């Protein structure tokens, strides 16, 4: 059980570092597509090195179901990374990162609906809090736009091709 906490902590630190690097990429005006390509390339290299260092047979007998899951998972990961990095120029990272974390409500809701997982009080409260968080995000964004409009700071919204 103690080992599980180490992995949770390492995962938490990795996700936190990703948030910092997302913001750094935005500050340095890195092209989101190039950043995504290099990130995925280095991630693949890191995974291959780990596979050869820590597994006796890293390439032996990969089941087809692993490939069926890994391909769409990799596509979603790359697309999510690219879209997130691209969207940072249109908003602030705190709101964007919060929305990314709130996206965990989608698989939670699907597991309740599709896999018929039971909903106890804790899960129901967590889902309710996700909805409250989304409403508060919307309200905060609405207030910021209203405040900017009163100050006359709303300009034409940025286009998709901006910065490319």
> Which tens digits make up the pLDDT trace of 85-144?
888 887 777 777 777 777 777 887 888 888 888 888 887 888 888 888 878 877 877 777
Pick from 61, 91, 121: which residue ends a domain?
91
Rounded mean pLDDT of 133-160?
67
Per the CB < 8 A criterion, the answer to whether 158 and 89 are in contact is: yes
Domain holding 45, by residue range, is 1-91
Q: Are residues 85 and 108 in the same domain?
A: no
**How does DSSP classify residue 120?**
-
pLDDT band at 164 (very low <50, low <70, confident <90, very high): very low
Q: Which CA distances in Å does 161 have to 2, 6, 78?
A: 48, 42, 19
- Residue 149: what pLDDT? 65
pLDDT band at 72 (very low <50, low <70, confident <90, very high): very high
pLDDT at 157 over 50: no
Which pair of tokens denotes residue 90? 């249109």
pLDDT band at 152 (very low <50, low <70, confident <90, very high): low
Q: In this structure, is residue 98 part of a structural domain?
A: no
pLDDT at 158 over 70: no
Per the CB < 8 A criterion, the answer to whether 163 and 30 are in contact is: no
Pick from 41, 58, 91: which residue ends a domain?
91
Q: Are residues 82 and 128 in the same domain?
A: no
Q: In whole angstroms, what is the distance from residue 79 CA to residue 40 CA?
A: 11
Domain count, the chain: 2
Per the CB < 8 A criterion, the answer to whether 130 and 102 are in contact is: yes
The overall average pLDDT reported for the chain is 80
Phi, psi of 59 (to 5 degrees): -110, 0
Per the CB < 8 A criterion, the answer to whether 9 and 51 are in contact is: no
CA angle at residue 96 from 90 to 99, to 5 degrees? Answer: 135
pTM of the model: 0.64
Q: In this structure, is residue 86 part of a structural domain?
A: yes
């Amino acid at each position: 059980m103690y080992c599980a906490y180490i992995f949770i902590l390492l995962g938490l630190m990795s996700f936190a570092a990703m948030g910092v690097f997302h913001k750094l990429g935005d500050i340095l005006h890195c092209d989101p597509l190039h950043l995504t390509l290099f990130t995925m390339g280095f991630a693949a290299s890191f995974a291959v090195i780990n596979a050869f260092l820590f597994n006796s047979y890293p390439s032996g007998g990969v089941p087809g179901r692993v490939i069926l899951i890994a391909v769409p998972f990799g596509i979603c990961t790359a697309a999510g990374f690219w879209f997130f990095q691209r969207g940072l120029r249109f908003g602030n990272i705190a709101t964007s990162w919060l929305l990314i974390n709130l996206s965990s409500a989608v698989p939670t809701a699907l597991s309740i609906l599709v896999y018929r997982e039971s909903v106890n009080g804790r899960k129901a409260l967590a889902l309710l809090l996700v909805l409250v968080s989304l409403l508060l995000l919307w309200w905060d964004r609405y207030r910021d736009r209203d405040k900017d409009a009163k100050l006359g700071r709303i300009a034409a919204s940025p286009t998709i091709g901006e910065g490319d």
